[in-house]
Amino acid sequence: MHDLGGVSKFMCEAVDAEPHALNDFDRAVDAIRGILGGKKVMGVDELRRNIEAIPEADYLRLSYYQRWIRAITAHLLRQGVITEAELIAAMEAE
Amino acid sequence: MLASGTTVRVKLDWPETRGPCHIRTPHYLRGHEGVVVRHLGDFPNPEALAFRRPAEILPLYHVRFPMGALWPDRHGDNTILVELYETWLEAA
C-alpha cells in the first residue's frame, strides 16, 4: 500500500487529527526502530519500503506500529540479522 | 541547480511497473507542470537508500502545482506544494 494521495476510494473519510495515545507495544516498536537506526541496521527509507510492501488486506488491518514491526521483521530476516527459527523461538518464549 | 520560478515537468515515468521500488513522487503529478518555489537542500536519494544501494546526493525542491490541472473537476484556483527530487524533474 503506497501512494494513496488523490485515489478516489480513500477520499471520503475525514482526517482524524486527534492525538493518539501510545501503548507499551507502540513504545517498544519505536524503541527497536530507534536502536536499528542508530546502529545503521535499518534506515527510515528501508522502513518505508517494507511498510509499502505489506499486502493491502494486512495493511488495512494492522495498527500503525504493527505495520512497523512487520516491516522491521521482514527487513531483519532478509538481511540475515535474525533467522526465522530465532524469531519463532523468541515468540514462543513470550 | 534549478532557480526559483523555473517551470518544470514531472517525468511521466512509472518505475513501480518495472519491479520493486520506493517512489516518493506522487502518481498524480507524473507528466504535470509545476513551478519551483525553493531549493530545500541536498539529500541522499531515498529510492536507493530504501534498498541499501549507494545513494547519490540530490537537490530537493518545493514545487507548486495548480490543483485544477491535476483534478479538473474540483479545487478551482488552489495549489499544492510538493517536495520533489531533481531526478524527477525535466525542462517544461
* Segment B7-65, tens digit of pLDDT: 999 999 999 999 999 999 999 999 999 999 999 999 999 999 999 999 999 999 999 99
Show the cell assigned to B77. Answer: 484556483
Show the cell assigned to B9. Answer: 515537468
Establish if B59 belongs to a structural domain.
yes
Assign B72 a pLDDT band (cuts: 50, 70, 90). Answer: confident
Q: Does A12 have pLDDT greater than 90?
A: no
Show the cell assigned to B36. Answer: 519551483
Q: Interface pTM (ipTM) of the complex?
A: 0.86
- Partner-chain residue, chosen from A5, A6, A46, that has the shortest CB–CB distance to B50: A46
The distance of A46 to chain B (nearest Cα, Å) reads: 4
Query: Given CB atoms, is A81 within the 8 Å cutoff of chain B?
Result: no
Establish if B40 belongs to a structural domain.
yes
Q: The cell 521483521 sits on which residue?
A: A73
For residue B62, the one-letter residue type is H
Neighbours of B64 (CB within 10 A): 15
Establish if B34 belongs to a structural domain.
yes
> How far is the C-alpha of B68 from the C-alpha of B71, rounded, in Å?
5
**What is the tally of helices (H) and strands (E) in chain A?**
5, 0
Assign A5 a pLDDT band (cuts: 50, 70, 90). Answer: confident
Which chain A residue's Cα is nearest to B70?
A: A6
Establish if B1 belongs to a structural domain.
no
The distance of A54 to chain B (nearest Cα, Å) reads: 12
How many independent structural domains does chain B possess?
A: 1
A contacts of B31 (beta carbons < 8 Å): none
CATH of the domain at B54: 2.30.30.50
Show the cell assigned to B1. Answer: 541547480
Show the cell assigned to B46. Answer: 531515498
A contacts of B28 (beta carbons < 8 Å): 5-6
- Partner-chain residue, chosen from A3, A5, A46, that has the shortest CB–CB distance to B23: A3
- Length in residues, chain A: 94
Show the cell assigned to A66. Answer: 504493527
Establish if B83 belongs to a structural domain.
yes
Domain encompassing residue B63: 7-91
Cβ pair A45:B49 closer than 8 A: yes
- Partner-chain residue, chosen from A6, A46, A48, that has the shortest CB–CB distance to B52: A46
Are A1 and A59 within 8 A, CB to CB? Answer: yes
Structural domains in chain A, sorted by start? 23-93 (1.10.472.20)
> How far is the C-alpha of B11 from the C-alpha of A83, rounded, in Å?
40
3-state secondary structure chain B: CCCCCCEEEECCCCHHHCCCCCCCCCHHHCCCEEEEEEEEEEEECHHHHCCCCCCCEEEEEEEEEEHHHHCCCCCCCCEEEEEEEHHHEEEC
Q: The cell 531549493 sits on which residue?
A: B39
Which chain B residue's Cα is nearest to A7?
A: B28
| Chain A contact probe: residue of B13, B17, B21, B22 with most A CBs at under 10 A | B22
